[in-house]
Amino acid sequence: MNILMAIGYATVAAELIPIYAGYKVRDALDRPLQIMLAYLISSFLTDILLFTLSVRGVNNLWVIRLYTPFEFGLIMLVFHYWQKESTIRRVILWSIPVFLSLALLDSIVSEHSAGFNAVSKAVSAIAIVIISSYTLFQLRLSNTERLASDPTMWISVATLLHFGVGAVVYVASNLLMLFPKELALIPWTFKAITHTAASVIFAKGFLCLWTK
């Protein structure tokens, strides 16, 4: 087993941590946290498929193209529930069909390309980084005393970490293909490590609701 495969196995396995944490407190989950748990489960299953296809040498970019709009929609729904201003909530909801149109256009343009769908994936990550950062800023203004026990804070931090690093990697993804394989894998390895860290933070968010 090479290092890349080991990292892949470890990353996928780490995704079970927040899923198990969410299951432990399933009766205490409100609607946005239920959606977040659904997202984490779908992400886990998708990553298993991506990793399996990659190990077998099968092109898996079509899976990413199909999953990206679904992922964006779920994440945006979660943060929609956490906004106090109705205008922000409407903007978030409208961003879902707008992004769906962009993703469809990106898929059509890149249909015959062997490259990564960097446009839609990067736009998705950047938009999620913006809304998670905004949510954290609002939390900091309104809830300074209980942030450490607020699931919204931990979930927002995990989301920001995961998609923040992802945004940089996605933007540079097709450019990275021009470098030797060993060098091109470095950013993806770093992303895998931060993804694992984000999984632990997601779990912390769910476990804020756990009472013995």
In a domain, residue 212? The reply is no
Owning domain of residue 100: 3-207
Distances in Å between the alpha carbon of 191 and those of 39, 73, 98, 111, 128?
19, 22, 27, 26, 16
The predicted-structure confidence for 65-113, as pLDDT tens digits, reads as follows 889 999 999 999 999 999 999 999 999 999 999 999 988 888 777 665 5
Query: Is the predicted pLDDT of residue 188 greater than 80, yes or no?
Result: no
The predicted-structure confidence for 9-19, as pLDDT tens digits, reads as follows 788 889 999 99
> What is the mean pLDDT of the segment spanning 170-197?
70
Query: Is the predicted pLDDT of residue 197 greater than 50, yes or no?
Result: yes
The number of C-alpha atoms within 13 Å of 49 and in the hemisphere containing its C-beta is: 14
In a domain, residue 188? The reply is yes
The predicted-structure confidence for 106-127, as pLDDT tens digits, reads as follows 877 766 555 556 678 889 999 9
Pair 199, 161: CB distance under 8 Å: no
In a domain, residue 66? The reply is yes
In a domain, residue 172? The reply is yes
| The total number of structural domains that make up the chain | 1
> E strand or H helix at 63, and its extent?
helix 61-81
Distances in Å between the alpha carbon of 30 and those of 25, 73, 105, 190, 206?
10, 18, 35, 33, 11
Quote the pLDDT of residue 14. Answer: 92
CB count in 10 Å sphere of residue 82? 20
Query: Is the predicted pLDDT of residue 2 greater than 70, yes or no?
Result: no
